[in-house]
Structure 1
């Protein structure tokens, strides 16, 4: 029988858990232009899941913080695992299709975010290696191909009101 007593919490590998929203209005997608390690990169509104936060809440929060847009997630597009070329660590990204609800043009955006913009798929493809990850185009194409899963697949037992 294996001796698990030698395993400590520091020895357990933990990927970065991130969320992203694909927000489409007509043929345009909401994107962010951001400074990443001294280079200009383009991404969907995305970021890390915070402790005691549901995946859906994190996606809404990150979109608002990075773009000034309040969104309503409608579908799960997918869960993607990859190794970041920026920091070399594993990432698990949960991507949502979300509907734009309202915009606060005066909102201060997260540090490093230059601006939010709406681009067509062709304009996004033309960005080439300036896309922050291959997941940007992959999730747009999945949405355009009709890949949509109900949010009911996700379950959270967190009482977010209890943890400010």
Structure 2
């Protein structure tokens, strides 16, 4: 009997303020890594709602999605899981002072593109690819996404 292949659906957001990007420092497989605010889409959750929720849970920042940057796939060598990432551009609205961050999150970091390009501990290659795509102008309207209840 063969196992059914099921990719993991995730969202991420590239939020820029004053030339720096909102990033997450987190613990993954016992290592400190840098990622965008990102995570799994939950059952019955709208994609854009997942973007907003994950940003708050991972950084304590409310972010408003403004455009789709792209769709990305990545198979993690550590576990063999394939991730399908919907990556969005987002506007940082405000920090939420008492936001409860997810387990494993060290905290938010604002980093320049130079710092990110030099960072040896990005969670995956998708982190920099998404930001480079954002910087190159890949911005698609949010209405390219249609969700049926």
Q: Report TM bin, short chain.
A: over 0.9
Q: Offset at 1:87?
A: 1.6
The yes-or-no answer on 1:156 pairing with 2:147 is yes
Over residues 38-72 of structure 1, what are the superposed CA-to-partner deviations in whole Å (9 max), with x where a residue is unaligned? Answer: 11110000000101011111111000100011111
Say which SS state the counterpart of residue 42 (structure 2) adopts. coil
Tell me the distance in 1 between the aligned counterparts of 2:78 and 2:98: 31
Tell me the distance in 2 between the aligned counterparts of 1:135 and 1:105: 29
Q: How many correspondences in the alignment?
A: 149
Structure 2 residue runs without a partner (length 5+):
none
Match of residue 34 from structure 1: 26
Over residues 68-97 of structure 1, what are the superposed CA-to-partner deviations in whole Å (9 max), with x where a residue is unaligned? Answer: 111110000000112112321111000000
Match of residue 84 from structure 2: 92
Please give the TM-score of this superposition, normalised by the length of structure 2.
0.95
Match of residue 14 from structure 1: 6
Over residues 16-40 of structure 1, what are the superposed CA-to-partner deviations in whole Å (9 max), with x where a residue is unaligned? Answer: 1110000001210000000111111
The yes-or-no answer on 1:56 pairing with 2:48 is yes
Higher helix share goes to which structure? 1
Say which SS state the counterpart of residue 132 (structure 1) adopts. coil
Tell me the distance in 1 between the aligned counterparts of 2:93 and 2:83: 28
Please give the TM-score of this superposition, normalised by the length of structure 1.
0.87
Structure 1 residue runs without a partner (length 5+):
1-6, 159-164
Match of residue 138 from structure 1: 129
Match of 1:80 among 72, 77, 83: 72
Q: Offset at 1:104?
A: 1.2
Over residues 92-150 of structure 1, what are the superposed CA-to-partner deviations in whole Å (9 max), with x where a residue is unaligned? Answer: 0000000011111332211000010100011111112x100101100101010000000
Match of 1:118 among 98, 105, 110: 110
